[in-house]
Each structure stands twice: as structure tokens, then as C-alpha cells.
Amino acid sequence: MKALAIALLLGAATGIPAAQPVASPLGVWQNPKGTILVRTRNCGAMLCGNIVWASPTALSDARDAGVNALIGTELLSDYRATGAGRWTGQVYVPDQGRRFYSTIEVRNPNSLRISGCILGGLICKHQEWTRR
């Protein structure tokens, strides 16, 4: 405890800003259109996320693509930490029935950027998700 107090005083005295903790990606997140909610959690040493709510439109789109049980679907899988606030893994796109290489970046405590790429990263799209 004494060492922590000394370290904080030295940081304040030297004008060196204290390191800010990285916000957690764990929780419930909403996509930009507000059509799904995904709960992210630790899956062993990795990060994953399942759909916990879907709008009627999202449910209909998924059924049209052959996904009859959208709630519970693992949307985010096998994400490994690659740096402070960054993970790489696979994102599942239900209406295409495919998984894509993906990154997650914690933008701030209430915002994630999820990016997905095809063709070895030549074509990428991203979405900003908000914490619910």
C-alpha cells in the first residue's frame, strides 16, 4: 500500500499521467440499427458473444437465410487479445450464413468497433456498437 502511494506521488510530482485502464468488452452490446443485443463474455482464455435479443426484422431476415433460432446464436467467437483493448476472432453473419475474420476494438467504456474482412483483409466493414 505504501509503495502504491509513493508511485502515485512520484507520478504526480513528475507530471507523468497515470495509465488509464482499458475498458472491458464484457457486457451487453447493441448493433447500430438496434436490431440485436449481444452478450460478450469470457470463453476460457478467449472472448465470445451470443445474441440475447433480436428485433422482429432481424428474426425474419435470419429465418429467410435459414437460421431458425437466432436468439442464442454465437455471433462472436474465438477472439484472442492482440493488444490493449483489441481482439481478433470470427464474426458470424446470420443472413449470409458465414463467418469472417474480425477485430474488436474498445473505443471507450460504452463503445466497441467491430470490423469484419473478406479476401484476406482487402474488403472490410465496421460497426460501432453501444453498451446497453
- Return mean pLDDT, the chain: 86
Please compute the mean of the pLDDT values over residues 94-108 and round it to a whole number: 92
Domains, the chain, ordered by start: 26-131 (2.40.128.520)
The two counts, helices (H) then strands (E), for the chain are: 2, 8
Say which residue the cell 465470445 belongs to.
48
Say which residue the cell 440485436 belongs to.
36
Percent of the residues in the chain that have a pLDDT greater than 70, as a whole number:
84
Q: What predicted TM-score, i.e. pTM, was given to this entire model? A: 0.81
Please compute the mean of the pLDDT values over residues 62-83 and round it to a whole number: 94
Measured from the Cβ of residue 37, the count of other Cβ atoms closer than 10 Å reads: 19
- Summarised one tens digit per residue, pLDDT across range 1-59 is 443 333 333 344 445 555 556 789 999 999 999 999 999 999 999 999 999 999 999 99
Query: For the purposes of burial, counting CB atoms within 10 Å of the CB of 42, is it exposed (0-12), middle (13-18) or buried (19 or more)?
Result: exposed
Q: Which helix (H) or strand (E) holds 74?
A: strand 74-83
